[in-house]
A and B are shown apart, each in its own frame.
Chain A
Amino acid sequence: MRHIISVLMENEPGALSRVVGLFSQRGYNIESLNVAPTEDSSLSRLTLTTVGDERTIEQITKQLNKLIDVVKLVDLTEGAHIERELMLVKVRATGAQRAEIKRCTDIFRGQIIDVGTSVYTLQITGTADKLDAFLEAVGDAAVLEVVRSGVSGVARGEKVLSL
């Protein structure tokens, strides 16, 4: 199953390489990863998605927790949560395609953020599934470049991941 693991860790040089190294060292896979400092600049928030059976996921969370730089973590998929990913897509947009792509973008509640004579740059946010669906709707032929942020997420309701 796919899991979203959200990690609060020391904003120190080397911390990220320890997390990434752990995954390659122990043969776990990372599907997506994003990381940035939080409102407390001494902490970074790292979110990763991974796939594995129950035992693997348990090991992953335990091994992550064992890293000295990791302060706290949560497997968001264990409870109700919100997941978002940002995608920037450059698509070929000429002639009749221009209107078609605009329509499709609207349906997915995306925005056109840059316009060229033959290309649009689009921004779409949503779950990873939604972004996949959008790409499928637009079709491979039109897509020139895709940049995805990787999944980030938070738990629903009162629950927070903080010190």
Chain B
Amino acid sequence: MEMLSGGEMVARALEDEGVEFIFGYPGGTVLHIYDALFQSGKVPHILVRHEQAATHAADGYARATGKTGVVLVTSGPGATNAITGIATAYMDSIPMVVLSGQVQSHLIGDDAFQETDMVGISRPIVKHSFLVKKTEDIPSTIKKAFYLASSGRPGPVVVDIPKDITNPTDKYEYIYPEKVKLRSYTPANRGHAGQIKKAVQLLLNAKRPVIYSGGGVVQGGGSELLTALARELNYPVTNTLMGLGGYPGTDRQFLGMLGMHGTYEANNAMHHSDVILAIGARFDDRVTNTPNKFCPTAKIIHIDIDPTTIAKTIDVDIPIVGPVESVLSDMLKQVKDRCAKTPALPDREALQSWWQQIDEWRENHGIYHSPRYDLDSGFIKPQQAIETLYRVTEGNAFVTSDVGQHQMFAAQYYRFNQPRRWINSGGLGTMGFGLPAAMGVKLAFPDADVACVTGEGSIQMCIQELSTCTQYKVPVKIINLNNGYLGMVKQWQDMQYSGRYAQSVYEDSLPDFIKLAEAYGHVGIKVEKLDDLEDAMKEAFSLKDRLVFMDIYVDRHEHVYPMHIAPNGSMRDMWLSKTERS
């Protein structure tokens, strides 16, 4: 029988769970745990410079690997600093376990030093949470936390641990459960056979089909099956911001991203379709535009692991609750069987004219058909910076991003052919996500190219992590599209507030990012001319073991297009440039 203290149990449970990295920051209530981690030395710990970064780093790690990210923070300010990152993970359904220290049990409720009700504060942004009451409960609670975080629709789980139950002198028997079962938690493991049959029937008889897939396909390991299904049918595919890489971005059948900044062809294909197959996507308001004008002629099949996403904003015709992987494999099998028996399916003639229509849309307004930005502006266009990044990394980099115009340009112009390569805060839209997320990715894949596409606004929200990158030698490449504005805010102000830039300008207060990077021991490269861009980028990526901060001066007044016309627009109503509407 093995007797361990609570602190040792935490360390040991993480080891038994196969945790590769803990991202964290110490403080009073977790000192016993930190000491146990120190003494066992088994699970590497990354000391960030702000708890928000710990959650984003764990999140980036989780998105890139599919494994659960782990965070350890102290009570009070440590816990509250983690909140933004927990909410970010929650909105995008990322598996994460957050261990937070809590004041001693007998002090809870007394407004003790660094006490905060972490379970209460985090309640609306977690999949579940625990306040551990007894040392003996630590192993089973941690096991449950990992199980909940990673199964079904994944999400963050908070485990709040009062200091007294981690006391090094109180030892209890340690048994780490092999498995847990919760009677109140039974995520679907198969889709309903009857529904799948109906869906296949509808899908095969479509004349203007479109497959709309989201983050669920990436997270649920459904990319290969989705690709196989789409190819089998020769149906067009569009991805959400979260779903990019779920279908190969350079494939002929790929229409690009849909939604507010989606492509002309993707948004039009959706609007004019007669059957939509939605997979692991949630009809977010940044996708649908005005709900009652959404895709008026379409019948909708919706596959999702989470029943609450179905018919939440848009009514669907055939809901299927289940993991995308198993549902898609059932569907693919049936599609193959049906097509073999009935060679007239799917309707090739209808499909041909549908593709003709789509190709026409592409030629007229598609961003991949020809450049839709001004080539002779004399400035570096942000789109060109992303295209250059794409070329230099041969489309194989992990790309994290912050939030703003640069994020949308990255989503549009870096064409992801693999899942888990595009890592951004889609649901919450958290500025500050990019750099710490890139650290998490790079630690998991030390040999891969990892680029953080950011803006001079966003990067300053977690810039302190340059120091973490120094300490752990994390040579990510920062691609700062420096437009000197909170660009996305400015774009809205240009379009809706007659160019009144209320608090989207910094005057001359921006730091010299090159000197800043150098101050942390990194390399800085400033790019002001288009002619220098490609070589500079190549140089940055050739410095394999250095963090390089590329400060790229891009056109300050560029806008992201297409852009949905709102309010009251439908999917197909878009601004195509500053002057042109669909």
How far, in angstroms, from A58 to B185 measured CA to CA in the complex? 19
- Bound Cα distance A13, B131 (Å): 9
Docked Cα-Cα span, A25 to B126, in Å, equals 13
The residues in A between 10 and 31 inclusive whose CB is less than 8 angstroms from any CB of B are: 10, 13-14, 17-18, 21, 25
Given A66-B307, A68-B128, A59:B312 Cβ within 8 A: yes
A43 to chain B, nearest CB (A): 10
Could you tell me the distance in whole angstroms from the C-beta of A16 to the nearest C-beta in chain B? 12
Q: How far is the CA of A71 from the CA of B127 in the complex (A)?
A: 15
A68 to B157, CA, bound (A): 11
Which single member of A21, A55, A58, A68 contacts B184 (CB below 8 Å)?
A68
- Selected contact of A66 from candidates B123, B182, B306, B315, CB within 8 Å: B306
Which of A17, A25, A59, A163 meets B308, CB within 8 Å?
A: A59
- Cβ of B120 < 8 Å from any Cβ of A? yes
Complex contact B119–A58 (CB within 8 A):
no
A130 smallest CB distance to B (angstroms)? 34
Residues of B within 8 A of A25 (CB): 124
Q: Which residues of chain B are within 8 angstroms of A70 by Cβ–Cβ distance?
A: 184
B183 interface residue per 8 A CB criterion: yes
B129-A14 in contact (CB<8A): yes
Within 8 A of A (CB), among B504-562: none
Q: Tell me the interface secondary structure of chain A in the complex.
A: helix
Kindly state whether residue B112 has any CB partner on chain A within 8 Å.
no
Out of B131, B308, B311, name the residue touching A63 (CB < 8 Å): B308
Q: Contacts A14-B129, A55-B311, A58-B311 given; indicate if A68 touches B123 (C-beta within 8 A).
A: no
Report which of A21, A68, A163 forms a contact with B124, defined as CB distance below 8 A: A21
Q: Which residues of B sit under 8 angstroms from A59, Cβ to Cβ?
A: 308, 311-312
A83 interface residue, CB < 8 Å from B?
no
Q: Is the CB of A14 within 8 A of B119?
A: yes
What separation, in Å, do the CA atoms of A17 and B120 have in the docked complex? 8
Task: Identify the closest chain A residue to B129 (Cβ).
Answer: A14
Q: Tell which of B123, B183, B184, B307 touches A17, judged by Cβ atoms closer than 8 Å.
A: B123
A residues in contact with B310, CB < 8 Å: 62
What does the 1/0 interface line of A54-67 toward B look like (CB < 8 Å)?
A: 01001100110110
User: How many residues of chain B have a CB within 8 Å of chain A?
Assistant: 20
Residue B148 at the chain A interface, CB threshold 8 Å: yes
B131 cross-chain contacts in A, Cβ below 8 A: 13-14
Question: Are A68 and B182 in contact, with the CB atoms below 8 A?
Answer: yes
With a CB–CB cut-off of 8 A, which chain B residues contact A66?
Answer: 306-308
- Interface membership of chain A positions 36-68, coded 1 if the CB is closer than 8 angstroms to chain B and 0 otherwise: 000000000000000000010011001101101
Cα-based distance from A18 to B312 in the complex (angstroms): 20
- Minimal beta-carbon separation of A101 from chain B (angstroms): 44
Query: Once the chains bind, are B184 and A62 in contact (CB under 8 Å)?
Result: no
In contact, B183 and A18 (Cβ under 8 angstroms): no
Bound CA–CA A55/B311 (angstroms)? 8
Known: A14-B119, A17-B123, A68-B127. A62 touches B308 (CB 8 A): yes
Which residues of chain A are near B128, meaning CB under 8 Å?
68
**Once bound together, how far apart are the Cα atoms of A62 and B185, in whole Å?**
13
Complex Cα–Cα for A17 and B310 (A): 25
A9/B123 in contact, CB under 8 A:
no
Give the distance to chain B from A68, nearest Cβ to Cβ, in Å.
Answer: 4
A68 surroundings in chain B (CB, below 8 A): 127-128, 148, 182, 184-185
Question: Which residue of chain A has the shortest Cβ distance to B133 in the bound complex?
Answer: A13
User: Which residues of chain A are within 8 angstroms of B120 by Cβ–Cβ distance?
Assistant: 17
- The 6 A-B pairs of least Cβ separation, nearest first, read A71-B184, A68-B128, A62-B308, A25-B124, A62-B307, A21-B123
Binding site for B on A (CB under 8 A): 9-10, 13-14, 17-18, 21, 25, 55, 58-59, 62-63, 65-66, 68-71, 163
Contacts beyond the supplied A66-B306, A68-B148, A68-B185: 10 A-B pairs with Cβ under 8 Å: A10-B184, A14-B119, A55-B311, A55-B315, A58-B311, A59-B312, A63-B308, A65-B307, A66-B308, A70-B184
For this complex, 18 residue pairs linking A to B, each with C-beta atoms less than 8 Å apart, are: A9-B184, A10-B184, A13-B131, A14-B129, A18-B123, A21-B124, A55-B311, A55-B315, A59-B311, A62-B310, A63-B308, A65-B307, A66-B307, A68-B148, A68-B182, A68-B184, A68-B185, A71-B183
